[in-house]
Amino acid sequence: MSEQTSHDSDVSFIRALAELLRENELTELEVKREYGDDNTLNVRVSRQVQTIVQAAPVMAAAPVAAAPIAATVAATAADPASHPGTVKSPMVGTAYLQPEPGAPSFITVGASVKEGDTLLIIEAMKTMNQIPAPRGGKITQILIQDGEPVEYGAPLVVIE
Does the structure show a pLDDT above 90 at 62?
no
Give residue 84's pLDDT. Answer: 84
CB 27 within 8 A of CB 45: no
Quickly list H helices, 24-150. Answer: 67-78
Segment 69-80 shows an average pLDDT of: 51
pLDDT of residue 44: 73
Q: Where are the domains of the chain?
A: 3-46, 74-159
Please state the length of the chain: 160
Nearest CA among 83, 86, 89 for reference residue 131: 89
Instruction: Determine phi and psi for 93, rounding to 5 degrees.
Output: 170, -160
74-159 CATH: 2.40.50.100
> What is residue 73's predicted lDDT score, i.e. its pLDDT?
47
Burial (CB count within 10 angstroms: exposed 0-12, middle 13-18, buried 19+), residue 120: buried
pLDDT, tens digit (0-9, with 9 covering 90-100), for 7-25: 677 677 777 777 776 777 7
